[in-house]
Amino acid sequence: MLKRICMYNLFFLIATACSANTTALPVQPALKDTPTIAPTVAVTHVETPLHQDLIPTLQDPSISQKPINPLVIKVCPTQQEVSLPELGLSPNDRLIVVSYDEPYIYSKGSLFTVKATDTTAQPINNTTPTKGELNRFSSVGVSPDGKWVLYERYHQPQDDELTLWISSTDGQQHWELATTPLASRAEWVSNQEIIVTDYYNREPIIRIFPFSYRLEKLSHIQGLGKSLAYLVRDSNLYDAYYGVDVDATTGKFVAWFALYDYAAQSKQKIFQWMPTEESPGAGPLSSNLIPWGWDIWSTRNGFTIVVQKTYGFDLVSDLDFAAAAQPKAYTEVMKSVILPDGDADWGVIESFPLLTDSFAFDRFYPKEPGSNKMKFHIFDYQHMVLKDYCLDRGNSAGGDFSPDERFFAWTVYEDQGNSKGKEVAVLNLETGQVARFPHVKLIGWGVVDQ
């Protein structure tokens, strides 16, 4: 699930060379094998000290690709609002939620599930914290197949560590997985692997294999910048990252991008075509060398990158490692996609990558009657098809696709601060119909075996 790229002030990392220590996890009862699914990776940015060997040289454009005008399909049913039982969820689908007034951080509440026929949310067994403990739901993660829920538990009084817990979606299996630093975040990268990252620069610090009972600690990498996306290929961990510093000759800020191979302990330059000039309307150059609204996530074959533009966005999809390292110009790599009504008065507010060849986003139309109006879209970048759902998602932030990618759900909040949840809304991506479940906030999607 992709999150907006955030820009940070200049940050210097002082680190040691890479090493890996492997620790056995406590053995749990035998579990069923689950298939591997390509991970969806979150993105964050920071600047780091200059490495002359990694400074990209942008070439003059030699090939300019023709702009693409996608086919637009409107999915706008006459009756958009339906009840949850009418929406078409399968008997195995579950919404994983918390109570509408429960904080995501340091909560006394438990996790709940909602199925299509439920009128009240059902608690997941053993997820209520015991006396002297609190749950932290801000880093709750559901495995790509929806069968396992990962969350954190915090011990009182104030501690500098968390314990990771894992539960089956049906609540039948549940155990403590590992102890991690308080300033960390845990995420699934496949059905068999969890990555724990440093909270501030998102550098991977621990690999956990919850069903083969292994834990691998990773030391800081010398010269590693701010992580953009980490991904696993053939059981090996890679980290795409970037850094920014001042060129000693020109005095200008320069960005560099690199891919780190943890197994080979090597790095190579990537994304050499990305511009390093300040974007229009951006803040200080030192924190905005990467274009505003630049999103990246891992796919089956490598990386997909989207750069927001006033006319729509520029895109490259399924970029493998070899192509990412080629020293080409921006216009040789990125395709320009022209969206209907695209002008400087709208912007992409959020984007959410699917596991397939599409991503979803909100478009903002302040010129239309009723300020701050948004419309929800999905763009299929393999077939160049844009689906318009004629839907304003309301006061919302983020969202999550179901494991079978037939539905999209999000929390609608009562206030702009996104503290108290009003309801969870669920969209059927085929029919365009929406159902709502009141008084809960969304954590993710689950699947149970009947």
What pLDDT, on a 0 to 100 scale, did the predictor assign at position 436?
A: 96
| Three-state secondary-structure class, residue 403 | coil
Cα 187 to Cα 151: distance, rounded to the nearest angstrom: 9
Let me know if residue 15 belongs to a domain: no
pLDDT at 301: 75
Is 7 domain-assigned?
no
In sequence order, which residues have a C-beta less than 8 Å from that of residue 79 and are 6 or more positions away? 433
What are the C-alpha distances in Å from 301 to residues 142, 167, 186, 238, 243? 23, 30, 23, 13, 24
Q: What's the average model confidence in pLDDT over 140-157?
A: 85
pTM for the predicted model, two decimal places: 0.79
Structure tokens at 183: 């300033």
Compute, in degrees rounded to 10, the torsion defined by CA atoms 34, 37, 43, 49: 90
Is 11 among the domain residues? no
The per-residue pLDDT for 419 is: 64
Is residue 171 very low, low, confident or very high in pLDDT (cuts 50, 70, 90)? Answer: very high
Asked if pLDDT for residue 219 goes beyond 90, the answer is: no
Residue 243 pLDDT more than 70?
A: yes
Confidence category of residue 276, pLDDT binned at 50, 70, 90: low
- More confident: 394 or 420: 394
pLDDT band at residue 3 using 50, 70 and 90 as cut-offs: very low
User: Quick one: what percent of the chain has pLDDT higher than 90?
Assistant: 28
* Residue 153 near residue 138, CB atoms below 8 Å: no
Evaluated on CA atoms 293, 294, 295, 300, the torsion sign reads positive
Question: 354: closest CA among 412, 394, 402, 306?
Answer: 402
- Name which of 74-78, 142-146, 287-291 the model is least confident about: 287-291
Please check whether residue 139 lies inside any domain of the structure. yes
* pLDDT score at 286: 36
In a domain, 13, yes or no: no
**Chain segment 46-80, per-residue pLDDT in tens:** 223 333 333 333 333 333 578 899 999 999 999 99
pLDDT of 223 reads 62
**CATH number of the structural domain spanning residue 194:** 2.130.10
Residue at 274 is within a domain:
yes
331: in domain: yes
Are the beta carbons of 313 and 351 closer than 8 angstroms? Answer: no
Which residues span the domain enclosing 419?
20-447
**43 pLDDT above the threshold of 50:** no
241 pLDDT band, cuts 50/70/90, is: confident
Q: Is residue 6 part of a domain?
A: no
Q: Average of pLDDT values for 98-119?
A: 82
What is the count of structural domains for the chain? 1
The strand pairing partners of 207, in sequence order, are: 195, 216
Structure tokens given for 107: 């909560």
- Cα 150 from chain centroid? 16
For 100, 322, 332, 420, 425, the CA distances from 439, given in Å and listed in that order, are: 5, 48, 49, 9, 11
More confident: 166 or 296: 166
The CA distance from 144 to 148, in Å, is 9
Average pLDDT, the chain: 75
**Per-residue pLDDT averaged across 183-188, rounded?**
86
Residue-wise pLDDT for 326-379, tens only, equals 999 888 999 999 888 755 344 454 556 666 688 888 887 655 555 457 788 999
Asked if residues 287 and 7 have their Cβ atoms less than 8 Å apart, the reply is yes
Kindly give the pairing relationship between strand 112-114 and strand 93-99. Answer: antiparallel
More confidently predicted of 255 and 177: 177
Say whether pLDDT at 283 is over 50.
no
Q: For residues 401-440, b (16+ Cβ closer than 10 Å) or e, as one string?
A: bbbeebbbbbbbbeeeebeebbbbbbbbbeebbbbebeeb
